Each structure stands twice: as structure tokens, then as C-alpha cells.
Chain A
Amino acid sequence: MTNQMVGIEINDLHLSFGETEVLTGVNLDIQPGEFFAFLGPSGSGKSTLLRSIAGFGPTPQGSIHIGGRDVVSLPPWKRNVGMVFQSYALWPHMSVRDNVGFGLRERKMPASEIAPRVDAALELVGLSHLADRMPNQLSGGQQQRIALARTVVVEPEVLLLDEPLSNLDASLRVQMRRELLALQRKLGLTTIFVTHDQEEANTTADRMAVLDKGVIQQIGTPQVLYDTPENLFVAEFLGTANILGGQVESNGGAKRFRTSAGDVLPLSDGHEGAGSIVLRPQNMQIVDQAGADTLPGTILHREFMGSQVRYIVRTSGTEMIVDQFHHVGHDWRDTGSDVHLKVNTNEAVIVAS
């Protein structure tokens, strides 16, 4: 099953359900063979965007090019886009074999060719022995794989996965996401994966787009998005973030950040003006001595999480979440004790507001 790898280009896509606009000015350029994720909270429009690529739902304005061909006005059955549904959507009245062979039969392929290709697809997902079962005799993980086999057997140009792991239990989810990635690499199939789970997106995607309220907030590799969020939504949605409002000031030649509560932190760089500083829990250490790059605070709460200890520290402005690695023999800080937070400002990000 070799494919001519194709890219997907979306330009200025708008979509409304009646009065409510669910997608606003979406622009995307997905590379051939890329594993791309749409990440966002529920209602962010990520599934709607995926469905409009497959051709479901109302026809959007704008263009969707798949391999250079504009498909925006084509019905789903003329797009050659493979989609795996969140519910798997295996037809309960057909055996596994008939489910997988469905698309080939629709393509009027002779039965003698269908059988070997169905076998090959089942082989690919490792479930050849279940060919004659009915879908309701399969476990969730098996149904997922059959749904995948049913989709890839028709050799679609792109593969769309709508929350494919959400109906599986936690341990299976980790295993399946690795298998999905391995399969995608093997087939070299341009793939879009919709999820609300950042861990799933981070561990599988080459690049991802974070969506909120129908608007793409930022596009990039998982690492870029985590390390350099462009806005507060992305900063807060990916991982845990402490956010202090304030402004960047000039201090002679150097820059510094003054929080709204009046604390000052030195910066190596930054544009002057109002903004917020984003601090990850691991960007700070709890120390006893005050310094130029510390904030004073009181420990409110302590949670032991295994590899690390999480402290909630009240500073003059807000409550900060601070993670410290746990080492055998190290004493923990007691709640109520007064401490200082040493901020690694070169790891911090300033987001303009």
C-alpha cells in the first residue's frame, strides 16, 4: 500500500451553524506525510474543521486543497479522504470482513481482488483471526483497529482521526497511540488527529494547531508551542502555567518585568509595554535567601506527586504552582513557612496583552 503523499492546504475557511460562527478564518498548510494534530477544548471547532475536510456538515466558505485539488464543494464520497470516527462506526449488521471490504465494493472492485486486500489490511492491524466476527463481539481496542483497517484499505489520500483514543481505557490508549504513529509512518499517509488531550498530541504529532472558539491560536511543533506560546490561551492550555500580569520596562540598558503587584524581575530581553509573564512550575526554585530574581511568598499547600513535590505558594500577587524534584533524604518545606521563589527568567516567556 504505497501512496503518493499529498499535502492539505486550507485558506481562509469560515463556517457557521445558523447564526453562530464555529470556524473563523482558518489557514493551514499541512505537509505531505505529516502527522498533524488539532488540539483544543470541546467546542473549539476542531472536530468541525476535521469534518469539513472530510466533507461532512454545512459547506464552508474558503478553500480546502488536498493534493492541489479544491474539494470544498465535493460530497464526502468523492473526496477519497479516509476518516476514523470517534465511535468507530462499525456497522453492526456486517461481519468484520464485510465492514473492511465495504469501501472496495463501493469502488466496484471485483471480489477476487477485494479478498486479498481485506486480508492484507487485517494483517496490517494484526487482527486477521477476527475476520468472521461481528463487531459487537470485539473489544474496544479491536473495534478501533478494524475501523482503521476499514479506512486504510481503500488507500485514501489522507487519514483523518476524530478523537480515536477517547473511547479506550488509559493503558490501551498509550499503546494505541504508539501503534497509530507506527502505522502512519509505515503507510506514509498524511494524517490529521483531533484530540482534546495535550499528552496525546504532544506524543504523536509532528506539528499541531491549537484551536479555541473556532480560531487557530498557534501552529507549531509540540515543543515550540509549549516553550514559546504566543498567547495566554496556548500557555494555559498546554501544561500548567503561572501567569503574572504587569509590564516590561527599560532599566537603563537592561529590561525588567514589573508585576501588577509591584514585584520586579530582571529580563534578558523583551519588548517594552504591557504583558504577562508565563512561568512553568519547573521554572522556579524555592530558596531561603532573597535576591534580585526572587519573589517572596508563603507556602500554602503541599502535594507529594512521586517524582516531584508540588507547592502552592502565595506571593504578593497570586498563588503560584511550583514543582520541585523529589530526592531521597531531602526535607520538604512545611506549609505556612515563608520562602522566596527564584525565577529562571531566561526560561520564562513574555506574552504581550
Chain B
Amino acid sequence: MSNASPHNTGGPSLLDRLPASIFPRVTGLHAAALIIAILLIGLLIIPVFQVIYVAFLDPNTGALTLQNFVDFFRTSLFRESFWNSFYVSAMSVVFATVIALPLAYITTRFNFAGSVVIQSLGFIPLIMPPFVGAVAMQLIFGRNGTLNLLIEEKFGVNIPFMEGLNGVILVQSIHYFPFILINLSTSLRNIDRSMEEAAQNLGSQGMRLFRRIVFPLAMPGYVAGAALVFIKVFDDLGTPLLLNVNNMLAPQAFLRISSIGISDPMGYVISFILVAFSIFSLWASFLVMRGKDYSTVQKGGGGLSRRDLRTGEKIAAYAVVAFILILVLSPHIGLTLLSFATIWSFAPLPDGFTLQNYVVMWENSKQFITNTVIYAGIAAVLDVIIGTAIAYIVIRTGIWGRKSLDYLATAALAVPGVVLGIGYLRVFHSIDIPFTDKPMASWWVIIALALMIRRLPYALRACTAALQQVSQALEEAAESLGATKGSTIRRIVIPLMSGGILAGFVTSFATAAVELSATIMLVSSESDAPLAYGIYLFMQTPSGRGAGAALGVVAVIIVGLGTFLSQLMIERDKKFKSTDQSH
């Protein structure tokens, strides 16, 4: 454990004899913990608190005041935005539930051959950033989109799927329903069959059984998923922006800061409301979940009993699954069509197909793609380094305050990208880039750091899971053979964690590559812009939509490949570890 050099093994060094209370013994790990703490405080806590603080400052006098909030609620646009954000989030939860509930129910209660399809339904939407699909959705479901043109021809009516808030709700619920599907299916699957049988044995059946036993036991999973959907939709900037719906909170914050400037207090008030809602939703779902770990599956048990579907039911089940599959795939289909389309306007399908969009995209987007690789690469590398360090410090050491590192890093989940972006603008506006006189806020490195903070929670989870699988005995064996702490970590722990670390890297990289909400605030010039911002720019003009879609396809491929690779690595790692155990 001691960091003493081999030269002074003869006796305690001067340092060792100093009282520990005044001169604490500092090891490499202590130093690492301190550096990480400083980084997290500087890059997450200070910017967020700065934003909250400014929301309570009088912009002219600098005195503490509630006047900004009064002004906010006196402005009808803001009241409307607040209500719209709330309405869109709540309705997205409702529609996501409508999509997820039948799927979860069919897979967990019946022997259904289509379950594999449903499993993939769970992640197809997640590999596409919602704003990427938004424009494609316009072309399919919009006023002059494929579906409405067909309906109008047949029935002479036009259904406003994509009008205003409806569009945001549709895009968001299609994108985020997997959170509910995954959580709800897991908690349904975790109900042991005996829970249901015990109730039947005591005389319960049918809907009563469902209402009194199955439903309450599945509730925590549903609430967790629903809260996540609510927060994600409430905080999202990209989708409303791409759909040109500006009367919501996140777009208002963006527009105020980008058009009026960083001294306008309304952006901060909105940020405060976004953070408060995030924390409130997480806290509420935590309250509902507390003491309710209802996972009751016994060893050898297999969840609720499943029955075979009758022919009629089977047809209905396949119809539901097919309908939802088409709905869920529509952004992907629309995006692909658009990327190969010559002209697609006022027609159910494009007029013709071409590769020209990809050529245009490639000629104009090299800079975007290079920037993305650099930013997401830096963010992901830092994420796994910090994630590994935090995981090791939390799990394997007794360093004071180690848990708070974990909490701090995870807290990034509750901070909307817009808020982090505004915080960085505010904090780094007044600090110059080293050796220059330009403000740090317009430096591209800041974008990479924001992405790093945003994706750290994902990398941290992957690294923690990886470390938990490495038995401490393996480290102790190395130490007993004379390896120092540092050498043990380098030669034993990190190689054994490599699968999980790599998976964390890929997840962070892939999701950072398509992040829009924080980057859109921080991009100061087009030459510094990453891919997601590029898509946004392309989509601003009708002529750029084709190339924008092509770039969107690139983004989907990056995230899809990333998801696939990280899944592969986790599986490989599991296999490797399990064969390891048998020796």
C-alpha cells in the first residue's frame, strides 16, 4: 500500500513521522480522486449552479431577486411554452405507453413467435437521434406527406399528425417508448409464477388477479420508464427545433440565448425550470420505487406463466406488432428514402432516386465528420479513463467521500443539454483560452468537454459493471507476489476490465457523436461544428434536406454500429469470463 520508495525501507521516512491529521498521506489514488472531483465541480457543478444563480439575479443591478420568475410567468409566450412542454411530455408518456403496453404484455404472457421482433423493436428507435428522424416523419405523416396524400385521395380528409405539438409528441413517443417497454417487460418478467398461482389458489382470477397482483407488482418498472420518457421529452431541444416548434421551453431557452445574448435572464429561468423538473421527476419516481424491489423470481423460476395464443388472438397479436413495427421504422424508412431522393414534395414517394445527395453531403460534411470524430473521441476517451478511475475508487478503496464522486458523475443525467450549454457559455465566456485573448466559450475543446460530461454516466455504469466482475482475490494475488498498487491496476485490473471499458467507450462515442442539445449552444463557427449540428444546418433549407438525410443515415449507421459493437464486446467478455471460471 505504501508509496515509499525502495530506498528508505530502513525506517519510517520523515514524511511518515509527520502527524497524519495535518499532513494526510496522499497516494496516487487520492490524487486521482481529487483531480476528478475538481473536474466534475468545474465542468458540471459550477456551470449548473451558475445558471441557477443567474436566474435569481437582477440583470441590471446584480441583486438577488425573484423578478425574473415574475417576468417569466407574466409573458404569455413563456406561459404557453411552459404549458406546451408539460403537455407534450405528458402526452408522449401516454402514447409511448400505448405503444409499449401491448408489446410488453404479449411477450411476457404468451408463447409468441414474434417475441424476437419485439425485442428488436426495443432498440431500433434508440439508434436514431429523434431530431434526425423528425424531418423524415414530416414527409410521411405531415400535411402533404405520404399518408395524408393517400388518405386525402380516398376520403378527402387530412389528419394533423404532425401539426405543431402533435408532431413533437409523435416523434418523441416513437423514439422513447423503448424506455417504457424495456422497464415494464423487465418488471413483468421478474414476477415469479408463484405470485400469480398463490392468488389463484386463494380464489382469484382474470382481471381481478391482474389488477390486484400483476399490475401493482409491475408498477415500479413502469413508473421508472415513464419518468425517464417524461424527462427526456421535457428537456429535448433538437426535435422541436427541427420541427420548427418554438413555443416550448428548451427551444425558447436556446432562442433567447442565441438571439438576445447570454445576459438575458429568461434563458436562465427556463434552465432552472428544466433542471427543477428533471430533479423533481427523478425524485418522484424514486419515492414511488422506494422499498419496492418487487423482483420475486426464484432460482429456476421463470416469470409469469405463459399460454399459447388461439388462432384469432395470434392474428391480432401479429397485426399489432406489424403496425407498431411500421410506425417505429417509419423515421428510418423516410430518412433512407429522402437521402436517395431527387425531389420529394407533395408526393407519396420521391420523384426519382439518386446518389447525388451523398456526393453533396460528402463534399460539404468532411469538416463535420472530422470534428465529430475528434470531439466524440476525446469525450469517450476521457469518459472511460474517468469512469474506470471512479469505479475503482468507489469499489476498491476507502477514500473519504468516494461515493460522492459517483453521485456527482451520475448527476449529469439530470442536467439537460441546453442547461449545460448555457452554463458553459456563461462560465467560460469570461475566461480566455490559455495564451490567447479569445474567450474559452468559443473554443472547440469546450464542446468536447461538454460531451464528456454528458456521456460520463453511461461510461461510468459500464466500467462499474466491468470492475464488479473482477474478483478482488485476483488483485490480492498480484499484490502478494510483490506488485505495487499501480502495477496491479495496470497489469491485472485494467486488462480484465477491458471488455467493459471498450463497451463504455463505444457507447459514449456513438451517443456523443449525435448529441445536439448541448453542442448547438456551444458551436461558435461552422468550421467547429459536429455532425449533429451539420444535420440541423442542412435541414434548415428545403434544398439541403436530401444531403441532410444522407448525413442522418451516416449518424444512424454510426450509432447502430456502435450499439452492435458494444453489445458484441459485452457478450464476448461474458463468455471469456465464464470460461475463465471453469478452470
A and B assemble together: yes
Contact residues of A with B, CB < 8 Å? 54-56, 75-77, 81-83, 85-87, 89, 91-93, 102-103, 106-107, 134, 136, 150-151, 154
13 CB contacts below 8 A, A to B, read A56-B200, A76-B197, A76-B200, A77-B201, A82-B201, A85-B198, A86-B194, A86-B298, A87-B194, A91-B198, A93-B216, A103-B203, A154-B203
Q: Which residues of B are found within 8 Å of A87, using beta-carbon distances?
A: 192, 194, 296, 298, 301
Is B199 at the interface (CB under 8 A from chain A)? yes
Q: Which residues of A are found within 8 Å of B219, using beta-carbon distances?
A: 93
Is B208 at the interface (CB under 8 A from chain A)? yes
Complex contact B217–A83 (CB within 8 A): no
Instruction: Out of A81, A86, A92, A136, name the residue touching B217 (CB < 8 Å).
Output: A92
Q: Which residues of B are found within 8 Å of A55, using beta-carbon distances?
A: 200-201
B199: nearest chain-A partner, CB-CB: A102
Interface string of B191-226 (1 = CB under 8 A from A): 010110111111111001000110011010000000
Complex contact B204–A83 (CB within 8 A): no
Q: How far is the CA of A192 from the CA of B408 in the complex (A)?
A: 56
Interface size class of B (residues with CB under 8 A): 20 to 34
Q: Which residues of B are found within 8 Å of A136, using beta-carbon distances?
A: 291, 293
Q: How far is the CA of A287 from the CA of B247 in the complex (A)?
A: 101
Q: How far is the CA of A125 from the CA of B216 in the complex (A)?
A: 27
Q: Which residues of B are found within 8 Å of A103, using beta-carbon distances?
A: 202-203
Q: Which residues of B are found within 8 Å of A75, using beta-carbon distances?
A: 200, 205
With A92-B296, A93-B217 in contact, do A85 and B194 touch (Cβ < 8 Å)? Answer: yes
Q: How far is the CA of A192 from the CA of B142 in the complex (A)?
A: 66
Q: How far is the CA of A131 from the CA of B205 in the complex (A)?
A: 25
Q: How far is the CA of A55 from the CA of B195 in the complex (A)?
A: 15
Q: How far is the CA of A154 from the CA of B198 in the complex (A)?
A: 13
Q: How far is the CA of A106 from the CA of B203 in the complex (A)?
A: 6
Complex contact A91–B201 (CB within 8 A): no
Q: How far is the CA of A87 from the CA of B296 in the complex (A)?
A: 9
Complex contact B298–A106 (CB within 8 A): no
Complex contact B201–A102 (CB within 8 A): no
Interface string of B169-198 (1 = CB under 8 A from A): 000000000000000000000001011011
A21 vs chain B, min Cβ distance (A): 20
Among B194, B217, B301, max chain A CB count under 10 A is at B194
Q: How far is the CA of A75 from the CA of B196 in the complex (A)?
A: 13
Is B572 at the interface (CB under 8 A from chain A)? no
Complex contact A106–B197 (CB within 8 A): no
Instruction: Out of B201, B216, B298, name the residue touching A83 (CB < 8 Å).
Output: B201
Is B95 at the interface (CB under 8 A from chain A)? no
* Additional A-B contact list (20), CB under 8 Å, known A103-B202, A106-B208: A54-B197, A75-B200, A77-B202, A77-B203, A81-B201, A82-B201, A83-B197, A87-B194, A87-B296, A89-B195, A89-B197, A89-B198, A91-B216, A91-B217, A92-B294, A93-B292, A102-B199, A106-B204, A151-B202, A154-B203
A78: nearest chain-B partner, CB-CB: B203
Instruction: Out of B197, B203, B205, B217, name the residue touching A56 (CB < 8 Å).
Output: B197
Instruction: Out of B204, B217, B294, name the residue touching A77 (CB < 8 Å).
Output: B204
